[in-house]
Amino acid sequence: MSKRSIVPFGPQHPVLPEPIHLDLVLEDEKVVEAIPSIGFVHRGLEKLVEKKEFTEYVYVAERICGICSFMHGMGYCQAVENIMDIKVPDRAEYLRTLWAELSRIHSHLMWLGLLADAFGFESLFMHCWRLREQILDIFETTTGGRVIFSVCKIGGVRKDIDKDTLKGIVTILDKMQKELKELTDVFIEDYSVQHRLVGVGVLTKQEAHDVGAVGPMMRASGIAQDMRMLGYAAYKYLDFEPVVENDGDCYARTLVRIREIYQSMNLIRQCVEKMPEGEIEEKFKGMPQGERYERLEQPRGEVIYYVKANGTKFLDRVRVRTPTFTNVPALLKVLQGCELADVPMMVLTIDPCISCTER
């Protein structure tokens, strides 16, 4: 029988921008078990709801994560709006969708860069992040912020985008798509990239369902579930289908994210084409009373906002179930039986956001 040893992985590791720790139980070079450890930087942001008025809490929600900041604010706003039965104007719904899809492109490009960096393809990493800069520039032009831009508010959005700027965004994306094609061809076709990803970290369709995987992790295993299909914001007016791959390995997860970047570009074009004129905010009165579970599709998968309100300006409870939190059991599943050298790839392909997890 092989000798068992335990190798600590993280919280400080070159592939980890944020702290998570895994105790890897090894037999020779093979991982037989992985025990996760989180909670190094838990911030207790959910507790802050007791001290911030429900209209102010949007700012806290946006600070849960610096990558999908906008969608955190949007999820919280949607939950409160549905409790209070506020009808958000159509134009605001389109603007929210546009910023959400830009956030998805920015997140996936960042992830592709980190993946390239993890398998030692430095130039690919730099090109991914170079393209991502253009998305951050669009954020800055349309909102004034590059990371946390605070345009979402209960009842709508704070800023409008004029026609010329909307056309400009489409022009940037058209130009960017050509450059993106050159980059993604490398991820899809390069021998050395495939060598690190194909057949590595396989999660079957049944396993993905059983461990409650979400987002690209789930869709790469053949499950066609995408919360945008629920039709929140302007998604109900747009034409799209969930991006699905069937192999369930690291390569399939990469393909899903690559195809989702192109899908997001397409959704943004549809938004610009179909965006109606009109108000961007619905004024409201009163305090929320009731409770609501709100689901959205963030870049990493399904996020759930639970809001419980008591009729005062302070909410009883806000609970955020983030996609990384629920993808940790899926990570443990794929780590079982893998080679130690492949562990960084697998950790990366769940696209871990510990900032979200440590909300």
Partner 1 sequence: MVDKQTITEVKVDELVDKAVLMKGQGYRLVQISCTFKDRFEITYSFDKDYELEHFRIYGERDEEILSISQVFFSAFLYENEMKDLFGVKIKDIAIDYQGGLYRVAQKTPFAPQKEEEEEAEHV
Binding site for partner 1 (CB under 8 A): 35, 37-40, 42, 44, 46-47, 82, 85, 209-212, 225, 227, 229-230, 291-293, 295, 302, 304, 306, 308, 316-317, 319, 321, 325-326, 328-329
Residue 57 or residue 125: which is nearer to partner 1 going by CB? 57
Distance CA 84, CA 78 (A): 10
Residue with smaller CB distance to partner 1, 254 or 326: 326
Listing DSSP states for 108-168 in one string gives HHHHHHHHHHHTT-HHHHHHHHHHHHHHHHHHHHHHS-SS----EETTEES----HHHHHH
**Between residues 38 and 105, which has the closer beta carbon with respect to partner 1?**
38
End-to-end CA gap in the chain: 43
| Residue 80 three-state SS | helix
Instruction: Calculate the alpha carbon distances from 180 to 35, 101, 129 in Å.
Output: 37, 16, 11
Min dist CB 116 to partner 1, Å, is 30
Question: Helix, strand or coil for residue 331?
Answer: helix
Extract the tokens encoding 328.
């940790």
Report, in Å, the least distance between residue 182 CB and partner 1. 37
- Pick the closer one to partner 1 by CB: 299 or 323: 323
| Shortest Å, Cβ 126 to partner 1 | 35
Strand 317-321 to strand 30-37: parallel, antiparallel, or no bridges (unpaired)? unpaired
Nearer to partner 1, 144 or 290 (CB): 290
Question: Would you say how long the chain is, in residues?
Answer: 359
